[in-house]
Chain A
Amino acid sequence: MKQKTLFGLAVACLLGAFILAVLIHNVEPDADAGALSPELQAALQRPHAPSLGPADAPVTIVEFLDPACETCAAFYPIVKQILAGEPQRLRLVLRYAPFHKGSDQVVAALEAARRQDRFWPALEALLATQRIWVHNHAAQPDRIWPVLERAGVDLARLRTDMAAPEIARVIEQDLLDIQTLQVRKTPEFFVNGKPLPSFGEEPLRELVAETLRHARR
């Protein structure tokens, strides 16, 4: 019937247009593939951000991390392994992306632990025990205290430090830079200012290896 032909034609046209649009979109060069512009580079690294590795390392990995994010916890050992492969030439800079509910409190606790020189043990303990203090994608800050205590943090000092205006300012700055850099998912990695071409363990390893090859020896 004529109506059926019309309908069939419409289905074919719509699907054809969709497939064509997908093909065109995939052919267009990805704007994300290149390095960030200089003004965005400034937002990528702030002097206040915690870091691991030599300050003059030729390759810097900037990771936007949410302590309550499961994928961040899963990626942490991978990142550590990558760093261990080239300890003299790789540096890790951590920026906070507290997207999960209650996560800003956990970040404040981490920053307070940093004042006691217990930042990395505290972070590692929190990531390893995420199941205890993250429920339904919401961080339960009152459940992190025993974890932090076991990581060697002085809780009384931590609680007073957490309220420090400097710590609130660090979180504010990181949230601002997230907006500037359009970071929407965690973990997000930048290697010497370049975002990952696509998300995953292999793309990260490849981008780090490639950047190391190009960096001065």
Chain B
Amino acid sequence: MSSAAATTPPGTAWTLVFIAWLVAAAATLGALFFGEVMQLPICAMCWYQRIFMFPLALLLPLGLFPFDRRMPRYGLALAIPGALLAVFHQLIVAGVIPESLKPCSQGVPCSQTVAAWFGFLTIPLLSLAAFSSIVALLLAAHARSRT
């Protein structure tokens, strides 16, 4: 029975990883759209967050077909550092992190807001939302696929 359980996809965990992938894929395409199509300037912090987001969009499907119970673990290895970077970026935008610590060139400061929708929705905030929801989804999937 245990071998059968490993091959049959556990419904809920699979769905959670799938939704996490949806978020990662949408975030990846969104970042490409902002940068390559809308030609918004890309600051250094955005590049670091891209480093952790783009692989998620490519790797998570590998854990879906066939379903790999360990996939949430692998995904979290990328999603957690990405989420931490997104938090760090928010602190730079909010001015909590002093100027001298900014890891950015003078050309495109990371504290500068290049786009805002509805008055509050900025690109760094979108990144934070994407990373934290991926972390939450993968943690939930991890908890469910352990038993």
Contact = CB atoms under 8 A, between A and B. Distances in A.
A26 to B, nearest CB: 8
A7 B106 contact: no
Q: Which 5 A-B pairs have the closest CB atoms?
A: A99-B107, A18-B29, A184-B41, A14-B25, A22-B37
Interface in A1-29: 3-4, 6-7, 10-11, 14-15, 17-18, 21-22, 25-26
A101 interface: yes
A46 to B, nearest CB: 20
Contact of A99 (B14, B32, B106): B106
A189 B29 CA distance: 31
A21 B37 contact: yes
B33 A7 contact: no
Interface residues of A, number: 20
Contacts of A18: 29, 32-33
B144 to A, nearest CB: 16
A10 B38 CA distance: 24
Given A7-B65, A99-B106, A21 B33 contact: yes
A7 B29 contact: no
B9 interface: yes
A173 B82 CA distance: 38
B38 A184 contact: no
Contacts of A26: 37
Interface in A107-138: none
